[in-house]
Structure 1
Amino acid sequence: MTAIPQGRTRAATLVSAMCALVVTGTGLLGCSSGDPDAGTNGVGKLPADKIQSRTRTAAKSASAVRLSGTVVSNGATYTLDMRLKDDGGSGSVTSKNGTFRLLRVGEHLFLKADAAFWKHEDGERGGAGSAAAASKLEGKYVKVPSGDPAYQRFSGFTDKDLLLDGLLTLHGALATGGRQEQDGVRTVRITGDKGSGGTLDVSLEGVPYPLRLVRAGNAGTLRLSDWGKDFALKEPSKQETVDYGKQLPSS
């Protein structure tokens, strides 16, 4: 039996070590057998309906998430940047009427916006659009009464479970749509109705969280990140807050 030269043995060991590092460290498969699921969480091998079920379960179980991107609803386009968890959320929403901030802690919802927003809001309610009244609200957190129509309209943006249940639904026949990458993380794409019913990119690394959603009917694109990453959530101080009691001001 011919002895293997020591230098060749060391070279083979080095190559094996480098391949292991490439696979586990960067997700590249150049040294592997070509299996696209090597080093993944395995959901890429599942049928599309099973992938959707797994990712919905993962999302529902997460303690927190950040949603950023656009949502089209009832003909209006909103740009969101919201951080959400089970007991509330905070962030910004931009519409054609400007940008406003939302903060919900438990059942208490607060809204902060500029004077132009409040004048528009007042006009929708049939008020006179008083510039003086709007200026008093500018830059303040206004506590939104639970019985006010604005509470239902805006609180949904701060409700993690409600948003995810509504967003993570693809329409039509489900199918897998190949492998993608989001911010350096390998993903598998599932589609509804060949893409016209929406697409969802699911992480192939670690927990199978949804990372990117394109909604059906060109209804917006959202990035989902910071899964399970906690953040501070507390009510604004009394000095920062205006409380109008049972109904927001109209004129």
Structure 2
Amino acid sequence: MTGRARAPRRAALLALVCVGASTALSGCGGGGDEDPDAGTNGVGKLSAAKIERKAKTAAERAKAVRVSGNVVSKGQTYRLKMRLSSSGGIGEVSAEGGSTFQLLRKGRDLYLKAGTGFWARQEGGKKPGKSDIAAAAKLKGKYVKVPEQDPAYKQLSVFTDMSTLLDGLLTMDGKREKGERSTVAGTRTIRVTAGKGRGGTVDVSLEGTPYPLRLRRAGGAGTVQLSDWNDSFALHAPKKNETVDYGKQISPDQHGG
């Protein structure tokens, strides 16, 4: 009789312990089967192709973004620190083995600011003379308006064009597959890979709008982080006393290298 009475009491006590304990405790049964998509935007449940489409759609609809990381273009590696919007962009670009320069574009007006070394190379080639350096020194700390007919305009404005830059960065090649879950700057993400990763990868936010947060480009062509989506910022053209009219063309063949 006593033994039979104890059994229900032990069962009741165990039930109370399980109710009060964390659901992560396996001893309470089923605790290790948490839904990985609980509290997310749900895109983790979708196919890789659908996740990618949602990320691209979110990027296309966004009005602003911050871009930072490395991009390889035509054999040249650039380090980007840019803030972009639908009306222009501002930030810094560093060319590997070359110079660091600042870009500012508002509407169609593109401005470039760089140090003496950068402008000296534009003046006199790879080995500028004293006169080249002296002329370049006058441009140090000044914004130079890049003429639209100059080949440099098309090359440099890409870094300030949100739509064009994102379109190129978000291009992947190969069969899409869902990859691992991770975090980017503290935000939970789901990865989409292309061509087993060789064709690029994109980490998409599992929180809020499914923005792309990190990109690894195909063929080792750079890794870029995207943040501050839709955070608006002001763009102002430089003042007249900060601007120099360089002429019809900045350089016939090279920029920033």
User: In structure 2, what residue type is equivalent to 1:161?
Assistant: S
Query: By how many angstroms is 1:84 displaced?
Result: 0.1
Aligned match of 1:22? none
| CA distance in 2: counterparts of 1:195 and 1:217, whole angstroms | 9
Is contact 1:92-1:99 (8 Å) kept?
yes
| Corresponding residue for residue 79 of structure 1 | 79
Tell me which of 132, 137, 140 is aligned to 1:138. Answer: 140
1:214 aligned residue (203, 216, 232): 216
SS class of match (1:130)? helix
> d(CA) in 2 for partners of 1:119 and 1:48?
49
**Structure-1 residue corresponding to 2:242:** 240
1:157: which partner in 2? 159
- Write out aligned runs for 1:81-230 (5 A): 81-95=81-95, 96-124=97-125, 130-230=132-232
* Number of aligned residue pairs: 232
Residue pair 1:97, 1:120 contacting (<8 A) in 2 also: no
Structure-2 change in CA distance of 1:46 and 1:108 (3 Å): same
- The 1-side partners of 2:37 and 2:107 are apart by 41
Mapped pair 1:57 → 2:48: no
* Kept in 1: contact 2:71–2:77 (CA 8 A): yes
Instruction: Tell me which amino acid in the other structure corresponds to 1:109.
Output: L
Contact 1:64/1:229 (<8 A) preserved:
yes
Query: 1:25-78 deviations in whole A, cap 9, x for unaligned?
Result: xxxxx9784111111111111111111110000001111000000001111110
Residues 134 and 31 of structure 1: is their aligned pair in 2 closer, same or farther, counting only changes over 3 Å? farther
In the TM superposition, residue 147 of structure 1 has moved relative to its aligned partner by 0.7
CA shift, 1:122, in A, is: 2.8
Matches within 5 A, 1:29-44: 33-44=33-44
| Cα distance in 1 between the residues matched to 2:84 and 2:66 | 6
Tell me if the contact between 1:71 and 1:79 (Cα under 8 Å) persists in the aligned partners: yes
State the TM-score, normalized to the length of structure 1. Answer: 0.85
- Could you state the TM-score of these two structures normalised by the residue count of structure 2? 0.83
Structure 1: unaligned runs, 5 residues or longer: 20-29
Kindly name which structure, 1 or 2, has the bigger radius of gyration based on alpha carbons.
2
CA 1:60 to 1:90, structure 2 compared with 1: closer, same or farther past 3 Å?
same
**Deviating 4+ runs (over 2 angstroms):** 30-33, 121-129, 244-250
Q: Counterpart in 1 of 2:66? A: 66
Q: Kindly, what percent of the aligned residue pairs are identical?
A: 55
Q: For the Cα contact (< 8 Å) 2:48–2:177, is it kept in 1?
A: yes
Instruction: Extract unaligned runs of 5+ from structure 2.
Output: 1-11, 24-29, 253-257
Question: Larger deviation: 118-127 or 185-194?
Answer: 118-127
RMSD: 2.7
- The verdict on how the C-alpha distance between 1:249 and 1:215 changes in structure 2, with shifts beyond 3 A counting, is closer
